[in-house]
Amino acid sequence: MADEALTAGQYIKHHLQNMTFGQHHHNGTWGLAHTAEEAKEMGFMSINVDTMFWSIFLGVLFLWIFRRAAKNATADTPSGLQNFIEMIIEFVDGSVKGAFNGRNPLVAPMALTIFVWVFLINFMDLIPVDWLPGSFAWIASTVFGADPHHVYFKVVPSTDPNATFGMALAVFMLTMYYSVKIKGVKGFAAELTMHPFSSNNKLIQAIFIPINFMLEFVALIAKPLSLSLRLYGNMFAGEMIFILIAIMYGGGWALGIFGGFLQLGWAIFHILIITLQAYIFMTLTIVYMDLAYQVNDEH
């Protein structure tokens, strides 16, 4: 339930603010930001602690679940967990076989990791917006005497562009590495400068080179941008709707009941969104890896 001591605008800003650790500019000390302004002043070298915590925690949870399923796997009477894990693996394997034409033992495990990890990160959006932040603020105020209005704790890493850009850049760097490895430096450079316009006349081709490079460079940079912004935008919008619904609980019992039905309906619909976003992120990663393996005549 929305804190009655906060206005609706303050409540929204509070839930959209990350727990940021960095250097305070006014005295040079390191610590947590107490306001959104302090977090902004900390700049590039600051760390969103909540994003890092939940991303790592959910990654470890993913590894633990799959490791447990692998250790207890049996061909006689498979458990429900084993059947579920095998279903996910078969689904991801089918996606890789359908979109990736090269040979690389890294692609399938990477696709599986991305799909499950992004899904778990997105799934945090289905937890009521006040449960975990409210519990953490209560602990911080009770144990450490902190002002709960200055305790920030976002639990959906994909609503933080730092997380989505980080994942997208990792995929981008991997595709760049294999593009150069498979095509060579000259082949990769030719891919950026000899397409889409080409000519047998060397003078005309020389004129086309900077034009081709500009077009191909924009297309190249658009890959990590679209990959990260798509996930961030969809999850941020979903989180905002949950926050707006939560505000309704402070408007009386009638509005609260209506908000409860809205929250249930949006949560059910949001299950499709979080799954679809994980699938899209995985599929685009596979496609980008496939493009890295394609030589010029296959484009």
Instruction: Tell me: cis bond preceding 210? Omega within 30 of 0 counts.
Output: no
DSSP letters of 135-159? HHHHHHHHHS---GGG------GGG
Neighbour tally for 176: CB within 10 Å? 15
In sequence order, the 6+-apart residues with CB closer than 8 A to the CB of 212 are 192, 193, 194, 195, 196, 197
User: Rounded to 5 degrees, what angle do the CA atoms 195, 200, 205 make?
Assistant: 50
Q: Which residues are catalytic?
A: 226, 230, 234
Neighbour tally for 193: CB within 10 Å? 18
Please provide residue 30's backbone torsions phi and psi, each rounded to the nearest 5 degrees.
-105, 140
Residues in a beta bridge with 48:
20
